[in-house]
């Protein structure tokens, strides 16, 4: 995976989570801006936020988590106007995944098909369980019949 580029699989691990963030950058008019906003979704490589300020695709921004004070450089991955006259902005971190959100995400190479699932006991154990159950039934039958 290239630096700053989220994989399609990583995006499966999006979480709808509202986290306050501060965004610094230059608007499409080249003027510096600062905006307080919230995330709509987060993932290991970025987030979706809403902005009033117009920004451009691939533009670099600084995202700050005011709770932790952590700053990260990111870039605009996509833009989508919303019904409030704002823009939903998909951002990707420019450096490897961080814990900016305070939650853990599976590693990039994690395959959900390989996760541990309950397995049936081996045949010998199943056979032993059948023998025990049959033996217990036989004992109860003898006790009731005499």
Residue 8 in this model has a pLDDT that exceeds 50: no
Number of domains in the chain: 1
Residue 52 in this model has a pLDDT that exceeds 90: yes
Give yes or no for a contact between 26 and 56, defined as CB atoms under 8 angstroms apart: no
What are the Cα distances from residue 79, in Å, to 63, 74, 89, 94, 132?
Answer: 16, 14, 5, 17, 64
Q: What mean pLDDT comes out for the span 15-33?
A: 86
32 found inside a domain:
yes
136 found inside a domain:
no
29 found inside a domain:
yes
| Full domain range(s) for residue 100 | 8-109
140 found inside a domain:
no
Please report, for the domain that includes residue 80, its CATH number.
2.40.10.220
116 found inside a domain:
no
Tell me the pairing of strands 60-65 and 20-26.
Answer: antiparallel
138 found inside a domain:
no
| Cross-strand pairs, 47 | 42, 91
Residue 33 in this model has a pLDDT that exceeds 50: yes
| Choice among 6-10, 33-37, 89-93, 104-108 with the minimum mean pLDDT | 6-10
pTM, whole model, 2 decimals? 0.63
124 found inside a domain:
no
Q: pLDDT class for 115, splitting at 50, 70, 90?
A: low
Q: pLDDT class for 68, splitting at 50, 70, 90?
A: confident
25 found inside a domain:
yes
């Amino acid at each position: 995976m290239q630096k700053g580029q989220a994989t399609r699989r990583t995006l499966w691990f999006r979480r709808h989570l509202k986290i306050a963030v501060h965004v610094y950058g230059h608007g499409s008019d080249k003027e510096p801006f600062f905006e307080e906003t919230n995330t709509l979704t987060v993932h290991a490589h970025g987030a979706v936020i809403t902005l009033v300020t117009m920004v451009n695709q691939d533009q670099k921004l600084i995202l700050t988590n005011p709770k932790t004070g952590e700053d990260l450089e990111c870039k605009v991955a996509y833009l989508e106007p919303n019904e409030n006259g704002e823009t939903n902005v998909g951002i990707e971190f420019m450096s490897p995944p961080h814990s900016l959100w305070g939650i853990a995400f599976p590693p990039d190479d994690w395959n959900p098909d390989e996760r541990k699932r309950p397995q049936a006991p081996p045949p010998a154990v199943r056979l032993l369980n059948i023998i025990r159950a049959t033996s217990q039934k036989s004992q109860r039958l003898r006790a009731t019949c005499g």
